[in-house]
Amino acid sequence: MSTLLIRSITGAFFGIVVIASILLGTHYLAILFGILLSLGLWEYSLLFKQKSNSISPIQTTIIGVAIYFLLVYHECLKINQKLVTPLITSILFVQFVKELWLKKENPIIASSLTTFSIFYLVLPFYIVNLFENTQFQNFPVLLGLIILIWTNDTFAYLVGSKIGKTPLFERISPKKTIEGTIGGIFFTFIAAVIIGYFSKTEDLFFWIISAVICSIFAVLGDLLESLFKRSIDIKDTGNILPGHGGILDRFDALIFTIPFFYIWFEIYKSL
């Protein structure tokens, strides 16, 4: 079976699951992204464990998932919102303090990598939940973002694999080409126009700017993850998604794009 066919089948199935969680709303989105986060944290830990035995996949995953559900469900747990940030800070401080007893050669590395995972994975996955049940003219905003990102990724891959010749950032990602990047941007704008048409004509401006944001930050997110992988000399972060690699390979663009998209969303609402 060709790589493209495997990638298409996996992408279609996975896309259906993600889209269903967005449309169903309530707790489906939080639970799905909580599961994806746990898998992503495990992959992240194993990535850096190859370079430093000091990081613990179990510990990093537990801490990350605990902070995620604290952020998402603090109201259900009847935890005052003012206590959320101090609680998270306390959790991170405690995981630093434990190094006093573990007697590791590089104690600061494990705690620093675990802390970085909170910023790189937990917070972006939490921001996804801020879009739950948010719609423009009955069209879910998060669904629109997912469509733009996946359009960019899909057509950058297709155009790049067919006509791509000029490396975009050869030192970091030799296979990513300028032609593929332009193709991804072009079709992302087309997708934005279509979404704007079905959402609401007056929201077309929002989706056009969103296409710009996705086109820029999705590529940067992909390059950043490529930098991580190149630094430890691996091709994929995992193999859980045939044709795509791991969870981080599939969500690198969303992880990097979501905070900037949310800022734009809030600005647009205030206009």
Spell out the residues 6+ positions from residue 162 whose beta carbon is closer than 8 angstroms to its own: none
Q: Is residue 19 part of a domain?
A: no
**What pLDDT score does 33 carry?**
92
pLDDT in tens, 16-48: 888 888 888 778 889 999 999 999 999 888 887
166, pLDDT greater than 90: no
Compute the distance between CA of residue 268 and CA of residue 262 in angstroms, rounded to an integer. Answer: 10
Domain, as residue range, for 166: 133-271
141 and 261 in a single domain? The answer is yes
CA–CA separation, 84 and 101 (whole Å): 27
Q: How far, in Å, CA of 4 to CA of 209, rounded?
A: 30
> 170 and 265 in one domain?
yes
Of 169 and 50, the structure prediction assigns the larger pLDDT to 169
The pLDDT > 90 percentage for the chain reads: 33
Question: What is the pLDDT, as a whole number, of residue 196?
Answer: 86
Task: Tell me what pLDDT residue 56 has.
Answer: 78
Domain stop point among 78, 101, 132: 132
Residue 207 has pLDDT above 70, yes or no: yes
Last residue of one domain, picked from the residues 77, 103, 132:
132
Give dist(CA 141, CA 131) in Å, integer.
7
| C-alpha distance from residue 113 to each of 48, 55, 88, 106, 164 (Å) | 8, 7, 16, 12, 35
115/166 same-domain check: no
Q: Are residues 138 and 264 in the same domain?
A: yes
pLDDT score of 238 more than 70? no
The verdict on 63 and 74 lying in the same domain is yes
Sign of torsion over alpha carbons 76, 77, 81, 86: negative
How many Cα neighbours within 13 Å face the side chain of 183? 20
Backbone angles phi, psi at 196, to 5 degrees: -60, -35
113 and 162 both lie in a single domain: no
Q: Tell me, yes or no, whether 125 and 138 share the same domain.
A: no
Residue 16 host element (H or E)? helix 3-24
Number of domains in the chain: 2
Which of 89, 115, 132 is the C-terminal boundary of a domain? 132
**pLDDT tens per residue across span 49-70:** 766 666 778 888 999 999 999 9
Within a domain: residue 17?
Answer: no
122 and 146, same domain (yes or no): no
Are 154 and 122 contained in the same domain? no
